[in-house]
Structure 1
Amino acid sequence: PLPLIVWAGWARDRRASRVLMIGLPLACAVLFLLDPPWWTEPITGILRFFESNLTRGRTIPIPVQFLGIVYQTPNESLPWYNTLVWTVLVTPVGFLLLGLAGIILSLRQHKAEPLGLLILGNWGLLVALRALRHTPGHDGVRLFLPAFGVMALLIGMGARQVLDWFGPWAKIAVAAAVVEAIGSVLLLMPVPLSYYSPLVGGLPGATRLGMEPTYYWDGLSSEARRWLRDNTLPGQTIHFASFPTSWLYLRQTGELPRRLDPIDRGPPAWYVMQNRPGAWSRIDRQLAERSTPALVVSKFSVPLIWVFPYAAHADVEKELLKPAAQGLR
């Protein structure tokens, strides 16, 4: 509500005061309703929320690769400009240009149409909050995703501005922006979360810039899961580089084999890792750079998932342990 309060104080008219009186309690109510854990513990739940998020560095620091450099967030901070770079990287080109036009409109007509400044202020606050020092920065844009909802309003304002600038021809430009956005996402299916703007060369270009191609294991496609089922013998297990609870669900529904390391007994047959370099262990990095996978899930020639024989993982682990063992002699 901070931009709303500042905007109402700046506007100093009856309409702004009315918006503040209605919007502030409405925003608090919506926040409460969208957080079910707060319903039964409204005070404890809120305190737990802040404690969890303000002590993330002591509990689960998460490494993030950004422009080729790995940061241990939130103990280390991403560059102050990271949210702006992310916005450019993942916004379709047409929408990005319309958003810039919306920013220009909101600044130029702030007296005639003060609502534009409120929209711009909300977008700016959301982008700035996630850019603060020692703020968790993992999972791409997920932690400031609401900023893109507000950006949609700026894009709408930008479309109106373009119509004022160029008249009927602007309709073609707006339609082209919509087609580009829909088409570029469809081309990424079934892994739309690996979308990067054509402005940077899409997924291959962003990977060359040192951005992480994937985060959420969404690259473990139905074909990859079927391959694991068909190529894992009874009694064997599968070892994943990380273990989200969704593996338990996929095992229960039969999408994954019944045995998963380390919760089930049996020798691991496969080691499965995703192309998220910031989270790689030394073994993962060696496997990605030197070993031959049994299966690769890729998009536009960029690997998203590798399935290695577990023997390859064991060999790399043994090789990395040799110097330490020799030093103890």
Structure 2
Amino acid sequence: MVRAYRQRNRLGTTGRSALTPAKERTWSIWRGYQQVTHLTGISTGTQSRQVSVYLRGMNSDHVLGSDGKTPDPDKRKTVTVSGIKAADITDSEQYAGFNRESVTYDGATEVGGTINDPWSKRTATQHKSYADTEAYYIRTAATHARTNITSEITPYDRVHTVKTTYDDYGMAETVEDEGDDSVTGDEKCTRTWYARNDSKGINSLVSRTRTVASACGTADGSLDLPADYKTPGDVISDTATVYDNTAATTWSASQTPTKGEANWTGRAKGYGSDNASVWQKVAKTTYDTLGRPLAVEKANGDPVSSTHATDHRPRNGNSRYRRHDGAGPISWPTWSVSSRLPR
């Protein structure tokens, strides 16, 4: 298989090193190519072609100073990037390297493509005389995947959009799958809750995930939340986890984990008149002091499995196995063995 690449519009941006005097700085930070074409196949035969467009973070870069050699300390560029079908977008510095659009071709005919919308949140700044340094979360806010449909008299693009919102930790809060953009009623929304304890550095534990057959902008009061399992309503799935609480019997959004041990897992079996979930236990797990599972219970309280400590040390204390340095018998470890219990 033969692969080839073609690049367009290479650029660099102004250096910001504190070790380089301002008057000696130049465009020394490589920012890559705006468009890359990837060819697969021999040049004399059939080739597939994929074209990718990238952001490079060139907006607000310095322009050339009046001396024609060094960057102007005050004047900045305004830079936008145009995709193949993607709308123009500001080439903000934090998005350097972000894949804005990728398109696949069969010869000169487009087969399909994907447009990505960026999302960012500034998390830290450092302002110095030589440079302003900023840190960001960078995520994908939306993907718009298109497929060229040729079965109709007039070919058209069928677009499938997925939108994601993020919380202050840069973690997905809602994911809205809009299905076919030209069709209404096929939307799906997944919302995620997290159990966090900043003082312990715990911030990524998922405590609940709910998926409904509706757009994310639909309020709970407007959803069809069934009272029991007899009617599905709008709910596709609704599962929850409680951490570090062996006495838990239901889910709480306000839990504060200390270790991250999942003691209780459940699923919604219905919803009350106030739209609050009524939970059914799926499993309950206990752990030893090292965080290893000891026992797991089913929904009805029957054990699923348990772990017991098995001592494999010689019983007579006169082991024939000795340390290589002659310091005495080997100190044998205690192993854990998992066993299945009958239902």
What interval of TM-score do these two structures reach, taking the shorter chain for normalisation? under 0.3
Of Structure 1 and Structure 2, the greater helix share is in 1
TM-score (norm 2): 0.21
Which structure carries more relative contact order (alpha carbon 8 Å, separation 6+)? 1
TM-score (norm 1): 0.22
Of Structure 1 and Structure 2, the greater strand share is in 2
